[in-house]
Amino acid sequence: MLYYIRDKEYIFCAQEPKADISNSLAMAFEDRYPVTKGHMLITPRRHTASFFGLGAPEQKACLVLVERLKALTLKKDSAVTGFNLGINDGKDAGQTIMHCHIHLIPRRKGDVADPRGGIRHVIPSKGHYP
């Protein structure tokens, strides 16, 4: 029964019927405010705030969808040359919707002037290294 906990107050629980791609424990849909074209969100079906609160089967189900979406994105868009994969886990890490979700963000050559460091720039003054 643990895997069937939902809270329709949260947008991701309410999105369940509208998922673009899914499996028994996870689902994925387009980000409403995409960083790049093709930005997707992968969420467990069960309502829980933290990735670290997921059981191993749920984590695996989410990662299976990450792999499927990566393959589909590369098939649809030959301009995609990389990806950022990220999880904001907790309010102080920038999480604003307290339902676990993984961002899969397609990247294209030249989409930013200097992509070096990628997610390290989440704290801008700490992102650079020699």
Is 47 tagged catalytic?
no
88 with 94: CB under 8 angstroms?
A: yes
Q: Which of 47, 99, 101, 103 is catalytic?
A: 101
pLDDT at 130: 73
Q: Which CATH number fits domain 2-109: 3.30.428.10, 1.10.357.10, 3.40.50.720, 3.30.200.20?
A: 3.30.428.10
Distance in angstroms (rounded) separating the CA atoms of residues 104 and 83: 7
Distance in angstroms (rounded) separating the CA atoms of residues 62 and 41: 10
Instruction: Write out pLDDT tens, residues 35-57.
Output: 999 999 999 998 899 999 999 99
Residue 4, pLDDT > 60, answer: no
Cα distances from 103 to residues 1, 83, 130, in angstroms, run 27, 10, 27
Domain map of the chain by residue range? 2-109
